[in-house]
Amino acid sequence: MIIKGKVWCFGDDIDTDQIYPGKYLPITDKQEMTLHAMEGAPGGEEFMNNVEPGDIVVAGKNFGCGSSREHAIVAIHGIGVSLVIARSFARIFHRNAVNTGLPIILFDGTGEIKQGDRLEVNIENGRISNLSQNKVYQGIAIAPLEMEIMKAGGLLDYLKKKD
């Protein structure tokens, strides 16, 4: 599966309070959650006002650390983010992404990717083509079981099929 999009860069240790501030936790409407995507992160306001469907978030280490809130995934997925590439992901964020079908890729050299670059990414083999810089990088795709879950449409559909 190939994903193409424009890059939004974020730093290291972007926690879930930055992706989705705690004061909005009582919200249960998924559409409403998207109004606060990345609201607490440096550069979040520009992101919220200008992000376009299909855009890609690129971040440093430990993306999505902090709380277990799935609101964080729902918000950035819902606002149109098609893929998150990071040097590393917090465990819960990683699971939430797989379980809800938001593609993610691990890549150690995210520092080479610049804000606004256009990428073409194969999420199954981890190949990242930077069309703006004319470079190709090798990232790490999610595990085979996780890919199966994602392809089934997420964990709940996967579990239903498993019955």
Smallest separation (angstroms) from other proteins to the CB of 26: 4
Nearer to other proteins, 51 or 74 (CB): 74
For binding to other proteins (CB under 8 A), which residues are involved? 13, 15, 17-18, 21-23, 25-28, 40, 61-62, 65-71, 73, 88, 90-92, 95-96, 99-100, 143, 145-146, 149, 154-157, 159-160, 162
Please check whether residue 73 is in contact with residue 23, taking contact to mean a CB–CB distance below 8 angstroms. Answer: no
Nearer to other proteins, 65 or 141 (CB): 65
Give phi and psi for 86, each to the nearest 5. -145, 160
User: Token pair for residue 65?
Assistant: 């650390």
User: Token pair for residue 149?
Assistant: 């879950």
Name the residue type at position 163.
Answer: D
Smallest separation (angstroms) from other proteins to the CB of 10: 13
Nearer to other proteins, 30 or 114 (CB): 30
Smallest separation (angstroms) from other proteins to the CB of 45: 13
Q: Which helix (H) or strand (E) holds 144?
A: helix 144-151
Nearer to other proteins, 5 or 44 (CB): 44
Q: Are strands 2-9 and 56-59 parallel, antiparallel or unpaired?
A: parallel
Stated length of the chain: 163
Smallest separation (angstroms) from other proteins to the CB of 95: 6
Smallest separation (angstroms) from other proteins to the CB of 158: 8
Nearer to other proteins, 135 or 160 (CB): 160
Beta strand residue intervals within 2-77, DSSP E: 2-9, 56-59
Rounded to an integer, what distance in angstroms lies between the CA atom of residue 136 and that of residue 72?
29
